[in-house]
Amino acid sequence: MASILTNSSAMSALSTLRSIASSMESTQNSISTGMKVSKASDNAAYWSISTGMRSDNMALGAVTDALGVGAAKVDTAYAGMESAIDVVKEIKAKVVAANEEGVDKGKIQEEITQLIDQLKSIGSSSSFNGENWLVSTANATKTVVSGFVRDADGNVSVKKTDYDLDATSMLYTEATAGTIDADSGILNKVGATVTVGATTYTQISVLDLDVETDDLGDALYSVDLALESMTSAGAKLGSLSSRIDLQTDFSAKLSDAIEKGVGRLVDADMNEESTRLKALQTQQQLAIQALSIANSDSQNILSLFR
């Protein structure tokens, strides 16, 4: 039935044109933003996942920054310990030389005194951002951030690694700046003994070592014992530094993996979107043509009344 009040063909064509326009708007939004899911209404589930994962990735970035600070602290302590070990090796060589008959022990002691002053300088200057892991006022436990974890229940936590500052890891302690505590740390520890054959050697402070007055056997035993403890402490610092480096590498890889995973959920395939846009543009032209044809049907009715 031909009607000038109700044009079913035009209504159908207009509905199609509106549908195509809506699809074009969605496609153009994806092209302009680069995302197929840019808001919750696009896909609530994917939007929720991507929002949570991006938040975790930001936290992971903060962990990576904290790892950098921790690495700097550990590396500073390790560099100080390594330098101190080299100095104590020199002191050990001087003590061995003092055992030679006829040598001037006074001259050797002058050299040892300079080396001891260098040890104190190394200890007091091995500080990063106000923290010194080689010389402290008291025993303590230092922590460095080592990870960010979200468990299966959705709970998040920051993981830390502890490093104990005690008599086996610090060179010495200070009650106040510049005042070394008695019987403290690796270099100022006293009292340990060892018996070799019929001779007993007693540990004396390396920082108070005097080859002119101290028993040379005790001096050599003390320096060697300090070297052993310093080597052990250096190994602990090296292990912690290696752990931080591994965690830093892992954090970077994990961040990239999360970013890629989120991208797969919400990023638009630009090749697909450009192809869809061209198809929609063609459909839009055809729909406009169909609407024009449908509207012209009403005009054709006039010819019946001529």
DSSP letters, 91-113, are HHHHHHHHTSTT--HHHHHHHHH
Band (pLDDT 50/70/90 cuts) for residue 237 is very high
The lowest-confidence range among 170-184, 245-259, 287-301 is: 287-301
pLDDT in the model for residue 306: 64
CA-CA distances (angstroms) from residue 212 to 112, 187, 264?
A: 11, 19, 75
Q: Give dist(CA 35, CA 265) in Å, integer.
A: 9
Q: Give dist(CA 89, CA 112) in Å, integer.
A: 11
Closest residue by Cα to residue 35 from 269, 281, 257, 277: 269
Q: Give dist(CA 134, CA 77) in Å, integer.
A: 6
pLDDT in the model for residue 203: 93
Average pLDDT over residues 246-269: 84
Query: According to CATH, what is the number of the domain 44-266?
Result: 1.20.1330.10
Contact 172, 188 (CB under 8 A): yes
Average pLDDT over residues 89-105: 91
**Residues 6 or more apart in contact with residue 268 via CB below 8 angstroms:** 30, 31, 33, 34, 35, 36
102: left (phi over 0), alpha (psi -120 to 50) or beta: left
3-state secondary structure at position 272: helix
- Indicate if the pLDDT at residue 304 is higher than 70: no
Q: In this structure, how many other beta carbons lie within 10 angstroms of the beta carbon of residue 287?
A: 21
Q: Give dist(CA 221, CA 191) in Å, integer.
A: 12
Out of 39-48, 174-183, 226-235, 259-268, the most confident range is: 226-235
Reported residue count of the chain is 306
Contact 140, 204 (CB under 8 A): no
Contact 99, 78 (CB under 8 A): no
Q: Give dist(CA 85, CA 91) in Å, integer.
A: 10
How many DSSP H helices and E strands does the chain contain? 5, 9
pLDDT in the model for residue 2: 61
- Indicate if the pLDDT at residue 218 is higher than 90: yes
* Mean of the per-residue pLDDT values of the chain: 85
- Indicate if the pLDDT at residue 276 is higher than 80: yes
CA atoms within 13 A on the CB side of 169: 21
142: tokens are 């230092």
Domain boundaries along the sequence of the chain: 44-266
Q: In this structure, how many other beta carbons lie within 10 angstroms of the beta carbon of residue 149?
A: 11
CA-CA distances (angstroms) from residue 166 to 65, 192, 229, 233, 242?
A: 27, 17, 12, 10, 21
Out of 143-152, 178-187, 228-237, 275-284, the most confident range is: 228-237
Q: Give dist(CA 173, CA 124) in Å, integer.
A: 10
Average pLDDT over residues 140-156: 78
Q: In this structure, how many other beta carbons lie within 10 angstroms of the beta carbon of residue 186?
A: 24
Contact 67, 255 (CB under 8 A): no
Reported in sequence order, the residue ranges of the chain that DSSP labels E, i.e. its strands, are: 127-128, 131-132, 135-136, 140-150, 156-165, 172-176, 179-180, 193-196, 199-202
- Indicate if the pLDDT at residue 235 is higher than 90: yes
Q: Give pLDDT tens digits for 56-88.
A: 888 888 888 888 888 999 999 999 999 999 999
